[in-house]
Amino acid sequence: MSSYSPIGPVVGIVGAGQLARMSQPPAIALGIELRVLANTPEESAARVIVDTRVGDYRDLDDLREFAKGCAAITFDHEHVPTEHIRALAEAGHAVHPGADALVHAQDKAVMRERLSAIGVPCPAWARVSSPEEATRFAEQHGWPMVLKSVRGGYDGRGVWVCRSAEDVAEAFATGVELLAEAFVPFERELAVLVARSPHGQGVSYPVVETVQQDGICVEVIAPAPGLDPEYSAQAQRIGLKIAHELGVTGLLAVELFDTPNGLVVNELAMRPHNSGHWTIEGSTTSQFEQHLRAVLDLPLGSPKMTAQVVVMANLLGGEEPDLFKRYEHVLAHDPGIKLHFYGKEVRPGRKIGHVTALGSNLDEVRARARHAAVYLTTGEYT
């Protein structure tokens, strides 16, 4: 690498998971060079990005070394210590999102405090430091109650739906800092993805429905079926308002509960998000391209859909370690299906890829995505 010099701006992504990996195709098209900070050279993005640096995202010296020469620094995950992000910005690096925005995606209590303060609908919630305090919260707001780890949760790890004092004790036995939330009796889960650039331009993608199983997103339907246009615009306004008020730069995904009494915000992510993977084929500007544009403060691209209906299904690892041998059937069965494999070792339940189907009939498009996902992961025919 000694004679290597980049042509075009370098965007440094801290973390080398599938989100960084899927940022590579639009970076190639735009002549942007990506650099990733990986834990190991075997990680998803490290396998496809030439400028992979191996280091520790919790170590400020590693981050400083990584940031040298980058036009912008952004993230594949939420786990970089907030004070390190602040230190990079103070050293003159363009970090997007900045620490003051990102903390709302890192710390669910800070997020709840801020959203409540700006009038965004949230479930009743409280910080709780003992099982007794949590039980009192449940007695006040009703069982079941949800306990969540304040930091570090993902894919439902760090979320406990508690129906009794025993469940509460189980969550506290983990020793992590918790917050309590009223259980929201939602009809379905929605998500809205918006982008905001440092100069303040904002765009919103269509609102999608996200289907979770055991706390993990398994399917995304764009646009959310049967959504009233005014309600959908309201969700988009919530997304843009949060992005503006929190000073988000880059992408912001807002997970929402659709309830009989209106929209309630679940949580925020400030990076490309699983609920936006459908945009790779399903939108004029994919979320990955949009994030790169935003962090470089370029004008944002059109979020317009390329088909009437787009369905994405996640591939969760099963028993078969080699998915490639199942490609032949899936690709022959449906020449329109799009496969994405993250270059990750298959482990049961692990997100290893996704498939996307586009079309005009919801039931048909959904069935195609499901067929491909089920066959690839289980070998079963639906």
Residue 211 and residue 199 in contact, taking contact as beta carbons nearer than 8 Å: no
C-alpha 222, offset from chain centre: 16
- Does 183 carry a binding-site annotation? yes
Contact map string, positions 132 to 171, toward ligand ATP, x by CB under 6 A: --------------x-x----xxxxxxx------------
Sorted by sequence, the CB contacts under 8 Å of residue 283 that are 6+ apart come out as: 205, 302, 303, 304, 305, 306
Q: Is 68 annotated as a binding residue?
A: no
Q: Alpha-carbon distance 289 to 277, whole Å?
A: 12
Question: How far apart are alpha carbons 109 and 103 in whole angstroms?
Answer: 10
Among Mg ion, ligand ATP, none, partner that 189 touches (CB below 5 to 8 angstroms by kind): ligand ATP
CB atoms within 10 A of CB 150: 18
Alpha helices in 302-379 (DSSP H): 327-333, 362-378
282 makes contact with ligand ATP (CB under 6 A): no
Fill in the amino acid letter for 34. Answer: L
- Distance from the Cα of residue 224 to its chain's centroid: 17
Binding site for Mg ion (CB under 5 A): 255, 267
Question: Would you count residue 33 as binding ligand ATP (CB under 6 A)?
Answer: no
245 assigned binding-site residue: no
Kind and range of the H or E run holding 225: none
Q: Which residue from 77, 37, 68, 33 is spatially nearest to 54, judged by alpha carbons? A: 37
Task: Please answer whether residues 187 and 260 qualify as being in contact, where contact means their C-beta atoms are separated by less than 8 angstroms.
Answer: yes
Beta bridge partners of 205: none
Q: Figure out which of the listed residues 201, 212, 232, 378 binds ligand ATP, where binding follows CB under 6 A.
A: 212
Q: How far apart are CA 244 and CA 257, in angstroms?
A: 21
Shortest CB 216 distance to ligand ATP, Å: 7
Touching ligand ATP, residues 71-130 (CB under 6 A): 123
CB of 267 vs ligand ATP, minimal distance in Å: 5
Instruction: Determine which residue in the list 266, 286, 287, 356 makes contact with ligand ATP, applying CB under 6 A.
Output: 266
Residue 321 or 348 with smaller CB distance to ligand ATP: 348
215 near ligand ATP (CB under 6 A): yes
Least distance (Å) between residue 210 CB and Mg ion: 9
Tell me if 184 is assigned to a ligand binding site: yes
Q: Is 231 in the site for ligand ATP (CB under 6 A)?
A: no
Nearest partner of 25 among 36, 16, 34, 12, judged by Cα: 34
- Among positions 76, 107, 189, 289, the unique one binding ligand ATP when judged by CB under 6 A: 189
Nearer to Mg ion, 209 or 267 (CB): 267
Least separation in angstroms between CB 182 and ligand ATP: 6
- Interface residues with ligand ATP (CB under 6 A)? 123, 146, 148, 153-159, 181, 183-184, 189, 212, 215, 255, 266-267
Annotated binding site for ATP: 108, 148, 181-184, 189, 266-267
